């Protein structure tokens, strides 16, 4: 279809069209086709112009009867929510015949039309927390967070050949997290509610790395992150950074001299005491 972004100016080539495509009867037939497609004649507005569907060559050697075999009538759109759009009705005529036929009817946007945002692939739209019960989130083959297990720098395995054999026997994982994936995970956890910048960590008596309830992760992340195993802690069962902390620290007592000091022994004031008698 020709360019109808400027329907009013599109009538510049109308003189090359057969009369059967330009007369009032053709306009009304095109309007009726647009109204039928829209389901409501009221949403089809005024006739804006007509444009041939075969481009006019610079030499002008194309016969007019061939040039005018198909053309597109455009009408203003009054459809609610489609400001700046227009109806485009393509009609055709056999050279030398008075009868015309409708090829297609479409609603097209103009230069000032309101358009929906560009489509974004699903894996780029997802955000943490979007996954619900029953949803499946497959990883892509080129996910930079994952690498084949036999190429990973896994410091928990000293025998790379054995790792390959284990995978071939079905005992291993096909892919593991890459260094980039592990770095992104640690950064995300450190910036979250269980990282060193949280309000809980800033007022804690000590860091998780010195807490008896801290369960370090295996491998290269052992010194940086772990899981909290204290059922009374707000991070119980969550991944926490080594420098996170809370009031449920295993070495904390009720008396704290400095906000960041871990008290290892209980302190009592025995300077005065009351004598109780029966």
In this model, does residue 20 exceed pLDDT 70? no
Report the pLDDT value the prediction gives residue 261, as an integer from 0 to 100.
52
Q: What is the pLDDT of residue 272?
A: 60
- Mean pLDDT for the stretch of residues 16-41: 82
User: 74 pairs with which residues across the strands?
Assistant: 49, 88
* 177 pLDDT higher than 50: yes
Q: What tokens were used for 248?
A: 């449920």
Query: Which pLDDT does position 167 carry in this prediction?
Result: 58
At residue 116, the pLDDT reads: 80
Q: What pLDDT does 121 receive?
A: 80
Cβ–Cβ < 8 Å for 41, 123: no
For the stretch 187-221, pLDDT in tens is: 999 999 999 999 989 988 889 999 889 999 887 78
Rounded mean pLDDT, 229-257? 83
Handedness of CA 250, 251, 255, 256 (dihedral sign): negative
Res. 75: pLDDT tops 90: yes
3-state secondary structure of 85: strand
The better pLDDT of the pair 186, 7 is held by 186
Question: What percent of the chain has a predicted confidence (pLDDT) above 70?
Answer: 65
- Closest by Cα among 145, 134, 158 to 219: 158
Distance CA 167, CA 161 (A): 10
Can you state the percent helix, strand and coil of the chain, rounding each to 5? 25, 20, 55
What does the pLDDT read at residue 176?
79
CA angle 244, 246, 248 (to 5 degrees): 135
Tell me: pLDDT of 43 over 80. Answer: yes
- Quick: pLDDT tens for 102-160: 989 999 998 888 888 888 887 778 777 777 777 666 677 777 877 777 665 544 455 55
pLDDT digits (tens, 9 = 90+) for 247-264: 888 887 655 455 555 544
The reported pLDDT for the residue numbered 188 is 92
Q: Quick one: pLDDT at residue 11? A: 42
- DSSP alpha helix (H) spans, the chain: 19-22, 24-38, 64-67, 122-125, 160-168, 179-190, 199-202
**For the whole model, what pTM was predicted?**
0.45
């Amino acid at each position: 279809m020709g360019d109808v972004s400027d329907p009013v100016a599109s009538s510049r080539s109308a003189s090359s069209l057969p009369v059967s495509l330009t007369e009032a009867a053709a306009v009304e037939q095109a309007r009726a086709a647009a109204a039928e497609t829209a389901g409501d004649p009221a949403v089809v507005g005024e006739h804006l112009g007509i444009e041939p569907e075969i481009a006019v060559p610079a030499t002008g050697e194309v016969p007019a009867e061939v040039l005018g075999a198909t053309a597109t009538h455009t009408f203003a759109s009054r459809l609610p929510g489609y400001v700046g759009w227009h109806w485009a009705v393509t009609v055709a005529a056999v050279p030398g015949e008075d009868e015309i036929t409708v090829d297609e009817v479409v609603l097209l946007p103009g230069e000032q039309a309101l358009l929906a945002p560009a489509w974004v692939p699903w894996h780029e739209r997802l955000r943490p927390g979007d996954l619900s019960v029953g949803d499946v989130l497959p990883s892509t083959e080129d996910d930079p967070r994952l690498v084949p297990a036999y190429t990973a720098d896994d410091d928990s395995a000293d025998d790379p050949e054995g790792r390959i054999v284990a995978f071939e026997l079905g005992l291993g994982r096909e892919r593991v997290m890459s260094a980039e994936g592990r770095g992104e995970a640690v950064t995300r956890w450190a910036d979250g509610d269980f990282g060193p910048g949280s309000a809980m960590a800033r007022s804690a008596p000590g860091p998780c790395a010195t807490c008896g309830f801290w369960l370090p992760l295996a491998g290269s992340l052992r010194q940086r992150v772990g899981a909290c195993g204290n059922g009374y802690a707000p991070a119980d069962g969550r991944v926490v950074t080594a420098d996170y902390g809370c009031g449920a620290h295993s070495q904390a007592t009720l008396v704290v001299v400095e906000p960041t000091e871990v008290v290892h022994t209980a302190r009592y004031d025995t300077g005065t005491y009351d004598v109780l008698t029966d």
